Amino acid sequence: MKVRIFDTTLRDGEQTPGVALTPDQKIAIAQRLDELGVDAIEAGFPIISDGERQAIRAITGAGLKADICGLARTEQKDIDAAASVGLKYIHTFIATSDIHLKYKLKLTREQALAKAVDAVKYAKSLGLKVEFSAEDATRTDREFLKKVFKAVTEAGADRLDIPDTVGYSTPQYIAEITKDTIDATHLPVSVHCHNDFGLAVANAISAIQAGAQCAHVTINGIGERAGNASLEELVMGLQCLQFDKKYETNINTKLLYETSRFVSKIVGVHVQPNKAIVGENAFGHESGIHTHGVLSNPLTYEPISPELVGRTRWFQVGKHAGAHGVSAMLEEYGIQPTKEQTHEILEKVKKLGDAGKHITDVELLGIAGEIMQQPGLKRLVHLAGFSVSTGIGNMPYAFVKLNVEGKDFISTDYGVGPVDASINAIQKITGETSKVRIKDYKLDSISGGSEALCEVTIKVEDAYGNQASAKSVGEDIVITSVQAMIDGINRIMLKKILKQKNLGQ
């Protein structure tokens, strides 16, 4: 069975507190969603602003393969606004639960029903395709919900949507009302699930099993409060989990991680590291038991191949590491210590882990080089001197002194902030000496208060397209950024040198 993916990242996703997208940003995300293979894109809520209408008009005219939809209340002015920007498909809604009717709309059930019917008839008179949502459906009286869906079906609705507006449903209940709706109307049914109790994806899958043909989702599950059903989790769940029937989507799953990162960067909402499918730790392993299993057969501790979603697995050394993990990481650099040397390396790694130390690849190579008495396995780039100057009225300025393979280099540069100035100064040196440039920079706060910690992730690239990433955590954003940059440069230079050395042998 083919499941329709209706993406509402640009509408419900933008309702995430603190998120506001420009028209250009909306267009860029819409293009990525279209490349990903979504069937429908809810481009926005046309009535709310001139910028919203500008963005939707551009998206409808962009020649995308996906159906482009706009949200509208059951008001003629909303529907007119949608038609005015070139939309041929609207998603119109009105609340049907007694709590919404009494306290928000101040309408009776009969009045709400009449507004729903009138809106559908009016939209159809304009030649629009109509998907009707009964907002807060899962808290609506069950018989009244069926009555509303029957009435809008008779009025000409093309599709129906069951919103679990406050994430209140269970998988069992949403399956029951999905069956009710299908039996009463025989129209295609969608579900729009929120994640207030962490059940959005489970509820969406349960509704699909009960006969729903479409799920409303967002990239990374962003949205109001705890968010919406996550596109990547739903799609991979349908594709990979065991069901009585086979479910398929039009999503190119190899683009999931790339799309997740793109949206996260634009909207400014960090993806939690342990998030399923697209979280940084989703295919990361430290435990010696897990690493050993994955190296023997990835299916022992990975339910799916990371390449399926555009990822790669990675290993982390630390206090939970085992000999197999250490050996595998060193093998990436062409380094093969003896069994005894591996044990010594592991013991040192565990001691550092017990002290709360995060061990990077570069540090692991340094430990290996010391134990194996191979001085070439060490940091090639050292920070020998560093200072920044900033203040009101003065452009931030940085001085950096690096030791690169035994030679000292000095650089100064300006930037829009002290971090930018520092990285610019470093890149002046590494761009000339080792052809390494920064490709991506990401800053996250991982604790609050006056002594908050920040986490900086850097991706660097050399002239041959080789890439390496590094992460650093600290209290000072500038120093932490510089440390991450230096680690990233060391990683890519060591990889290149060791690769050349191994090829030469």
The 3-class SS string of 293-315 reads HHHHCHHHCCCCCHHHHCCCCEE
* 337: pLDDT strictly greater than 60: yes
Residue ranges with strand state E in 247-380: 284-285, 314-315
Tokens of 74: 């059951």
Q: What is the pLDDT of residue 375?
A: 57
CATH architecture of the region 382-504: 2-Layer Sandwich (3.30)
Question: Which has the minimum average pLDDT: 104-118, 123-137, 298-312?
Answer: 298-312
The rounded percent of the chain whose pLDDT value lies above 90 is: 57
Q: What is the pLDDT of residue 316?
A: 64
* 463: pLDDT strictly greater than 50: yes
Q: Indicate the residue type of 427.
A: Q
pLDDT single digits (tens) 214-246: 999 999 999 999 999 999 999 999 999 989 899
Q: How far is CA 244 from CA 171, 208, 248, 274, 326, in A?
A: 16, 12, 13, 29, 42
The rounded percent of the chain whose pLDDT value lies above 70 is: 90
Sheet holding 394-404, edge to edge: 381-391, 394-404, 407-414
Q: Do 256 and 36 touch, CB atoms closer than 8 A?
A: yes
446 phi and psi angles, rounded to 5 deg: -115, 0
* Ranges of each domain in the chain: 4-267, 284-371, 382-504
| Superfamily (CATH) of domain 4-267 | Aldolase class I (3.20.20.70)
Q: Which of 151, 216, 155, 204 is nearest to 181 (CA)?
A: 151
At 478, which helix (H) or strand (E)? Answer: helix 477-504
pLDDT single digits (tens) 6-21: 999 999 999 999 999 9
* 155: pLDDT strictly greater than 60: yes
Q: What is the pLDDT of residue 358?
A: 67
Q: In the chain, what are the helix, strand and coil shares in percent, each to the nearest 5? A: 45, 20, 30
More confident call, 328 vs 115? 115
pTM passes above 0.85: no
More confident call, 371 vs 73? 73
At 115, which helix (H) or strand (E)? Answer: helix 109-125
User: Domain 284-371 belongs to what topology?
Assistant: Recoverin; domain 1 (1.10.238)
Q: How far is CA 51 from CA 69, 164, 210, 405, in A?
A: 16, 29, 39, 53
Q: What is the pLDDT of residue 362?
A: 65
pLDDT single digits (tens) 382-399: 889 999 988 777 789 999
Q: For residue 214, what are the β-bridge partners?
A: 4, 190
pLDDT averaged over the chain? 88
More confident call, 428 vs 439? 428
Residues in the chain: 505
Confidence of residue 505 (pLDDT cuts 50, 70, 90): very low
Q: SS3 for 159-206, per residue?
A: EEEEEECCCCCCHHHHHHHHHHHHHHHCCCEEEEEECCCCCHHHHHHH
User: Rounded CA gap, 24 and 27, in Å?
Assistant: 5
The one-character DSSP state at 156 is: T
Confidence of residue 503 (pLDDT cuts 50, 70, 90): very low
Q: How far is CA 386 from CA 363, 394, 406, 479, in A?
A: 21, 19, 17, 9
User: Rounded CA gap, 460 and 439, in Å?
Assistant: 5
Sign of CA dihedral 233, 234, 235, 237: positive
Sheet holding 454-461, edge to edge: 437-445, 454-461, 467-474
pLDDT single digits (tens) 258-282: 999 999 989 989 898 889 999 887 8
Q: Do 6 and 39 touch, CB atoms closer than 8 A?
A: yes
* 296: pLDDT strictly greater than 80: no
pLDDT single digits (tens) 175-227: 999 999 999 999 999 999 999 999 999 999 999 999 999 999 999 999 999 99
Tokens of 4: 């329709």
